[in-house]
A and B are shown apart, each in its own frame.
Chain A
């Protein structure tokens, strides 16, 4: 089998986001960027495609390999589907490879069997929770328009019973920016989580017409993030990790942030759909012009070396002209490509937020250093 030789060296190991069940989901979150697509048809990735992918991927890359299992709701693929994954990974594992599996779920379907599986095979579990019951149930609904909060909490409880502490992804919408303090307190003081990430809802391409009023503005996101920083400082827990705060902090001290939306390494990811179609990211699934290829009829090597992917990687690295004079250029990298106005080469919509929050946290860091210095 051909080795991956023609990619530019800086692309490194590609990280797959594998959508195992089309857009099929047991929830109907009102802001979901899949809800203009078919969420009713249950189509699971075939065993043949799963094996083809794992065999070719593990042949192409060595070192530390991340597999991100995603959906729709991935648990709808069923436990037998997932049980094949570690079997195939073990079968094709090479000496120089280590594997980390990550799954992002709404947690409503988790039971003891799933939790046992995740624990046995060391799957890291991410759960989507938007905040307290009021915030969460405002958008994250089931098919009957009922809130999903209680089911999610049950899922988290089962995970914890099996010794799994999930990471949390909070989606921030216009309506929920008003509940920033309640939601922060819920996460830290009631749910007792030590680490979570915040995804800002911004429908730049107007995919979901019904939710245009929920796209957050620069003012809203700036205010939200500054409040989170204040509350994080007031909580003063060295183990409390809010991903976005960590990303800003890393940039301020001249280090690379962990997230693709900050560190400019977006093009290292690719999204594999249940039917074999490969895109840069699940956030770009509606952009057919960005499709890299189709694994059902092509080799993974050909897809990852395709002109579309190499062009995409170049566009990711090419910053907007306004970035040239920005002191935060190396810490921001023009943000998420899905939130660039007018296309991949456009300017990051939340540019003003980034500048403002970098400055705000930098001042806090300076205050801390001054106080620390004064105490010596």
Chain B
């Protein structure tokens, strides 16, 4: 958000610019990324299986993750 104001001073114009910054939430990008990656996951309460996903989801998750802990 920003709030600009301007006033005249002689022939020129001095612009006073006040920027109201909101600190980006700590870890906000990390959390947003992780939340986005849950997009293709079914609900925990559904019977739908997680382990085999569509090729599109392979890309979304990072296709290295096959769901098995040791590989």
Residues of A within 8 A of B (CB): 10, 12-13, 15, 17, 63-64, 66, 68, 70, 98, 100, 102-104, 124-126, 166-167, 169, 194-195, 197, 199, 232-241, 243, 245-246, 249-251, 253-261, 263, 265, 268-269, 281-283, 330-331, 336, 364-365, 367-368, 371-372, 374-375
Contacts and interface: CB of A to CB of B under 8 A. Distances in A.
Contact of A64 (B22, B27, B54): B54
A364 B27 contact: yes
B55 A336 contact: no
B30 A371 contact: no
B67 A259 contact: yes
Nearest to A233: B27
B12 interface: no
19 contacts: A15-B51, A15-B66, A15-B68, A66-B51, A66-B66, A124-B63, A169-B70, A197-B65, A234-B27, A236-B28, A240-B33, A243-B65, A249-B31, A255-B43, A256-B42, A259-B69, A263-B50, A263-B51, A268-B49
B71 interface: yes
A249 B34 contact: yes
Contacts of B46: 256
Given A233-B30, A255-B41, A368-B25, 11 more contacts: A15-B66, A17-B70, A70-B70, A70-B71, A195-B62, A197-B69, A233-B26, A237-B29, A241-B34, A251-B44, A258-B50
B64 to A, nearest CB: 3
B27 A331 contact: no
B45 A330 contact: yes
A375 B22 contact: yes
A365 B33 contact: no
Given A100-B58, A251-B44, A195 B49 contact: no
Given A195-B62, A241-B62, A282 B70 contact: yes
B63 A245 contact: no
B10 interface: no
Contacts of A233: 26-27, 30-31
Contacts of A259: 65, 67-69
Contacts of B71: 17, 68, 70, 102-104, 126, 169
B50 to A, nearest CB: 4
Interface of B: 22-23, 25-38, 41-55, 58, 61-71
A125 B55 CA distance: 17
Contacts of B48: 256
Contacts of A268: 49, 51
A236 B51 contact: no
Contacts, number: 172
B35 to A, nearest CB: 7
B27 A236 contact: yes
Given A240-B33, A258-B41, A371 B49 contact: no
A342 B56 CA distance: 40
Contacts of A257: 41, 50
Contact of B33 (A239, A336, A367): A239
A367 B64 contact: no
Contacts of B54: 64
Contact of B49 (A12, A17, A234, A283): A12
- Most A CB atoms within 10 A — which of B49, B54, B64? B64
Nearest to B58: A100
A245 B27 CA distance: 13
A246 B45 contact: no
A371 B23 contact: yes
Contacts of A251: 44
A330 B44 CA distance: 6
Nearest to A199: B69
Sorted nearest first, the 5 A-B pairs with minimum C-beta distance are A233-B27, A238-B33, A167-B64, A375-B22, A371-B25
A336 B67 contact: no
B45 A236 contact: no
Nearest to A10: B47
